[in-house]
Amino acid sequence: MSFLKKSGVYITGVGQLKVEKKSELSIREMGAQAIILAMIDAGVEKIDGIFLGNMLSGILSNQQQLGALVATTAGLKGVEAVTLEAACGSGGAALRAGVMAIMSGLCETVVVCGLEKMSHEDKDFITRSIATASDWETEGGKGETFITLNSQLMQRYIKNYKISPDSFGMFSVNAHVNANKNPNALFHKEITLSEYLNSKYLTDCVRLYDASPLCDGAAALVLSKHASSSKSKATQVRITGSASSTEYIGINDRTDALAAEGIQRSGQAAYKMAGIKPADVDFFELHDAYSIISALSLEAMGFAKQGEGWQLAESGDIFSDGKIPISTFGGLKGRGHAIGASGVYQAVEAYMQLTDRAVHNCIKKEANIGLIQSIGGTASTTITHVLERM
């Protein structure tokens, strides 16, 4: 039995704001509100630390030191608070830092919060800002963006496995079906495969519905060394696996970009720590910022052979009644990808799925083990967590 399973890191409360195209709240207010909601849900008034996930506040909001700013706004002056940055994986990095703080014995109760405010008038400036998560010397500085970089991956995949660009459509259909049932999602409109196929191209092969939107959002959760005394055993959730791995940031520096070795390493380490295998996982909240990453993640995590991840979407196995449901609340594409918050939204949603609080977003089978994965860049930083119902 793993060390985490024996001692445990428990999620005892969660909070989230509705993802919006443009929030009327300031970034400090967004983070503070999410934290307060999570602490109320957990029934705690005191915590030992706050770990924030954020990527762009220094660039887009001219604001660093989010830790102290959000802590004091939430009425938690004096509490240790730091910001973690791992590009689009920042929320996952904050969650891992919170897990390690509990496991080290230095903290008993902490808050993990992910937040991002991206509502900025100049969309080109936002796109260039996000591109700082690429290898600037060889990619971003040469005019590449994450749309063009993911397009490169998608083109390689299509050519290597001799499939049609249309093969990725059901990833988007599933995301929008689930987002439509999620009151906190940005999009509340289902799409058909025909609508996906007729949507405009952003690049040679990436369609509008293959990419996640720019938006604002914040989510938080409370981690504790102890299970909640106010909740039944059936609604207790424990984090039993946590792992992080890196890969070359530049996709052309990798041995095989389609093998997604960074995702594999992170996933295998999390599986080993939790003492599980892919067949034990009931649902997977993957990092579907782009459709190609969904396919690569399913393959790297052992749910499909290499080159066949898209088939799980086409067959319907990723839907709520399928073999391996993904993006059960809409994912990054449907719920929205508020970059630093996405990894924490995943944890909140997985917790809700495991505690029968998912309401209309419940998967059809009994959910006992959930897998969440937060990715920075084109899978250059990957943080994987396993959550289990007690």
| Contact predicate 213/290, CB 8 Å | no
Is 88 marked active-site?
yes
Q: Catalytic: which of 88, 113, 205, 215? A: 88
Is 176 marked active-site?
no
Buried b vs exposed e over 196-222: b needs ≥16 C-beta within 10 Å? Answer: beeeeebbebbbebbbbbbbbbbbbbb
**Tokens 């001219």 identify what position?**
62
| Contact predicate 378/150, CB 8 Å | yes
Angle between helices 123-130 and 146-161 (to 10 degrees): 60
> What is the phi/psi pair of residue 47, to 5°?
-135, 165
Torsion, Cα 206 307 134 264, to 10 degrees, reads 150
Q: Catalytic: which of 188, 337, 360, 362? A: 337
> What is the phi/psi pair of residue 138, to 5°?
-110, -15
Q: Could you list the active site residues? A: 88, 337
